[in-house]
Amino acid sequence: MKKILLGLALSLGLSGAALAAGAGIPLDHAPKRTNDMAALQNGAKLFVNYCLNCHSAAFMRYNRLRDIGLSDKQIAENLTFTTDKIGDTMKAAMDPALAKAWFGKVPPDLTLVARSRASAAGSGPDYLYTLLRSYYRDDTKPTGWNNAAFPNIGMPHPLWELQGERKPVYQKVMSHGHEVDRLAGWDQVKPGTMSQAVYDQNVGDLVAYLQWMAEPAANSRVRIGVWVLIFLGFFTVVAWRLNASYWKDVK
């Protein structure tokens, strides 16, 4: 029993030490844009152009993009690959066998990633928003990239052409009586095709699309829920007055 408790304490201590040493950073809050049709359309475009090459969204069909204001013609001409049809699911362009050989495992399906990545540290969109803005060049890694939010990540930076190349800037701080490195900012090494502000805006659109894709009916559910609560409130008043009317003559 003592060995079990010692092992548990040691594992917790190592976990805390790893976190203190920078194995992950606080999550930034993702902008809420699931009701913004223009943002969702831009996010869908980014997803198809930069994510769908390796990752699938096997539980989402192209024709569901009508819900974000796109016509079948716009979807077919701008968001599908040559062999895809409007009713097909979003499958990766890359052969899964090749993906496993190159990256060590098949890249995961992204249909529900905005929900599955939620944790005590923040929501799934917060995690994705932080992750896609925390890549930096690391020549010691096979892909040439690392990530401050997910150290030793196996996925290379999918949007590096847009963001350019950066390196993290750390500062020494005291944590639990020990001096540790904490991320203080970023230095731009090579510029991308977008400024950092514009890049952040586009990442917010992409994350909004991933959030919408994880539950396309969420906005409708919220709207219906509001009307249900209004109805229940009104019915409660009616039931209260009816009850008073029925019992007013009862002694």
Each residue's pLDDT tens digit, 32-76: 999 999 999 999 999 999 999 889 999 999 999 999 999 999 999
Question: Could you read off the pLDDT of 99-152 as tens digits, one per residue?
Answer: 888 877 889 999 999 999 999 989 999 999 999 999 999 999 989 999 999 999
pTM here?
0.81
**What pLDDT, on a 0 to 100 scale, did the predictor assign at position 33?**
96
The C-alpha atoms of residue 187 and residue 199 are separated, in whole angstroms, by: 15
Cβ atoms of 90 and 64 within 8 Å: the answer is: no
Model confidence at 204: pLDDT above 60: yes
The C-alpha atoms of residue 74 and residue 211 are separated, in whole angstroms, by: 21
Report the CATH number of the 16-216 domain. 1.10.760.10
pLDDT-derived band at 83 (thresholds 50, 70, 90) equals confident
Residue 131: name the closest of 121, 143, 142 by CA.
121
Cβ atoms of 17 and 176 within 8 Å: the answer is: no
Higher pLDDT: 215 or 5? It is 215
Model confidence at 82: pLDDT above 80: no
Q: Which residue has the tokens 């939010």?
A: 149
Cβ atoms of 136 and 168 within 8 Å: the answer is: yes
Domain spans, the chain: 16-216, 222-251
Question: Could you read off the pLDDT of 10-23 as tens digits, one per residue?
Answer: 333 333 333 333 34
CA distances from residue 173 to 12, 17, 176, 184 in whole angstroms, order as listed:
21, 14, 10, 10
Q: Residues of 63-97 as b/e, b for ≥16 C-beta within 10 angstroms? A: ebbeebebeeeebeeebbeeebeeeeebebebeee
